[in-house]
Amino acid sequence: MNGMPDMPINVQVDPNEDTEWNDILRKHKIIPEKPPSPTPAIEEAILQARELAHEHRLEGKDLDELDELEDEEDEAFLDSYRQKRLGELQTIQTASVYNQVYQIQKPEYSKEVTEESQKTTVLVLLVSSAGTNAGSALLIPLWRQLAAKWGDVKFCQMQGDLCIEGYPDRNTPTILIYKDGEIKKQIVTLQELKGMETGLEDLEVLLLSVGAVSLGDVRLKGQKREDDGLGRKTIWQGVRKDEKEAEDDGGDSDWE
């Protein structure tokens, strides 16, 4: 008789292996059950994403582009998108009650700006005393273009020193953005945008970043891609950059 005591033998087991021995150990709850493979869930998610992309393949297309797809798409499906686009355009037309730049004076500022901002976003452009410094001269025609395009947003303009006594020309152009009776953002000179290269799209980035317009607006057609293929910053990139800068500086600007 062997007088040696029974000694436990340590056996290395990989609980993730599919072996008969592991099945026995799992049955007796010695090792945990093998977690289900994520592959089916991943494949299902990919399939759902493809189906969703196909279902929404006509999003962002205008009426002319939809007409060009008559030979490729189901007529009923196309018509549903036509009706959707017409509805969006009708909503825009109904809401577009401004459509011009309002030249305002200080006595009417509260009514035309602060009170009106309870209804919509109001942007005030403060220009130099003669309206002739380079930045003001650049923004004035762009302001008119914005007002004509975004008729549901109110665009106002006045001389900086008539709005704020002693306001220096060097701080113009200044953009004040009002919503719900308060200033939500202020841009002092074009250095906070793209300097003398500031264009209409940069100002639309500003509108998007403050929620004056939505990224899905049909008037932004063709401007939602992050990359236009030429390495230029596009609308969505600009919004994210603008939001990041606002978080970094708390949205404050110096007026003096």
Are the C-beta atoms of 124 and 158 separated by less than 8 Å? Answer: yes
Same domain (yes/no): 91, 106: no
Q: Are 229 and 250 in contact (CB under 8 A)?
A: no
Q: Which of 32, 60, 95 is the last residue of a domain?
A: 95
DSSP reduced 3-state for 233: strand
Chosen domain end from 61, 95, 129 = 95
Tell me, yes or no, whether 238 lies in a domain.
yes
Q: State residue 101 phi and psi, 5-degree precision.
A: -90, 125
Residue 187 in any domain: the answer is: yes
* 154 plus 138 within the same structural domain: yes
Predicted structure pTM score: 0.58
pLDDT value for 251: 46
Task: Report the alpha-carbon angle 133-139-141, nearest 5.
Answer: 110
> Domain check: are 108 and 232 in the same one?
yes
Could you give the CA distance from residue 221 to residue 218 in angstroms, rounded to a whole number?
Answer: 5
Q: What is the pLDDT of residue 255?
A: 45
In terms of domains, do 125 and 223 share one? yes
Locate 11 and state its tokens.
Answer: 């056996």
Same domain, 57 and 140: no
Lowest mean pLDDT among 87-96, 122-131, 162-171: 87-96
- Of 52, 68, 95, the residue that ends a domain is 95
pLDDT in tens, 154-181: 999 999 999 999 999 999 999 999 999 9
In-domain check, residue 17: no
Q: Are residues 91 and 116 in the same domain?
A: no
Domain coverage including residue 234: 101-249
pLDDT 10s digits, 214-249: 877 878 865 544 444 433 344 444 444 554 554 454
Residue 172 domain flag: yes
The predicted pLDDT at position 97 comes to 80
Q: Does residue 21 form part of some domain?
A: no
Burial class (CB in 10 A: 0-12, 13-18, 19+), 229: exposed
Work out how many domains the chain is built from and give that number.
2
